[in-house]
Amino acid sequence: MGPYIVENNHKVSLEKLSKRLPATAYMSELHIQVCELLAKASCADAELLPVLVNLYVTKSSYTKGLTALIILSRHGALQDVELHSNQSDCVLNTLLGPAIKHIPMPRHQALIDKHHVIRAIGKYITHRIFRLFGSRVKRPSSLVRAWTDKAEQLYSTECVSAHVLVYPYNTNFLRSFSFIRSCYRNHRDFSLCGISYSLRLLARVFWKMHRRDSQMAEYERQALVRHGKELAQLGPQTVFTTDDYEPAGFLFHNVLIAAGIHTTNTCHGIAVYGPHVSASRMVFINSFQQKYYSCRSTFKETKSRIPVPTVDAPTKETRPLCVVYIQGKWNLSRKPYEHLFDRLLKDALQESCRATGLEWFVKSHPDLSTIAKYRISIQHHVKVFNDWSVVESRPVIFINFMSTALYDFRERGVTVLVRDDFIDPGTVFGTGHIVIHRRELTKVLRALQKDGYRKERYIKQKTILLQHRVE
The low-confidence residues of the chain, meaning pLDDT below 70, are 1, 307-317, 332-333, 451-471
304, 332, 356 — which closes off a domain?
A: 304
| Alpha carbon distance 305, 147 (integer Å) | 20
Q: What is the domain-level CATH number for residue 409?
A: 3.40.50
Closest to 19 in 3D by CA, of 298, 256, 233, 331? 331
User: How confident is the model at residue 444, as a pLDDT?
Assistant: 86
* Whether 402 and 259 share a structural domain: no
- E strands, 127-189, are 142-146, 163-166
| Alpha carbon distance 228, 218 (integer Å) | 15
* Whether 142 and 291 share a structural domain: yes
User: How confident is the model at residue 392, as a pLDDT?
Assistant: 81
* Whether 334 and 370 share a structural domain: yes
| Alpha carbon distance 117, 349 (integer Å) | 39
Residue 298 lies in a domain: yes
User: How confident is the model at residue 467, as a pLDDT?
Assistant: 46
Residue 244 lies in a domain: yes
Residue 24 lies in a domain: yes
| Alpha carbon distance 146, 5 (integer Å) | 42
What is the number of domains present in the chain? Answer: 3
Residue 311 lies in a domain: no
pLDDT in tens, 182-219: 999 999 999 999 999 999 999 999 998 888 999 999 99
* Whether 162 and 17 share a structural domain: no
304, 337, 361 — which closes off a domain?
A: 304
* Whether 425 and 389 share a structural domain: yes
Closest to 73 in 3D by CA, of 7, 2, 1? 7
* Whether 170 and 150 share a structural domain: yes
User: How confident is the model at residue 458, as a pLDDT?
Assistant: 47
Distances 79 to 96, 105, 124 between C-alpha atoms, Å: 12, 21, 44
User: How confident is the model at residue 26, as a pLDDT?
Assistant: 92
User: How confident is the model at residue 3, as a pLDDT?
Assistant: 87
* Whether 121 and 44 share a structural domain: no
Residue 316 lies in a domain: no
| Alpha carbon distance 114, 110 (integer Å) | 9
Please name the amino acid found at residue 452: G
Residue 310 lies in a domain: no
Residue 309 lies in a domain: no
User: How confident is the model at residue 391, as a pLDDT?
Assistant: 85
* Whether 52 and 173 share a structural domain: no
* Whether 274 and 126 share a structural domain: yes
Distances 73 to 3, 25, 60, 101, 409 between C-alpha atoms, Å: 17, 14, 20, 12, 39
| Alpha carbon distance 92, 70 (integer Å) | 10
User: How confident is the model at residue 314, as a pLDDT?
Assistant: 61
* Whether 146 and 295 share a structural domain: yes
Residue 338 lies in a domain: yes
* Whether 123 and 202 share a structural domain: yes
Domain that holds residue 452: 322-467
240, 275, 304 — which closes off a domain?
A: 304
* Whether 368 and 241 share a structural domain: no
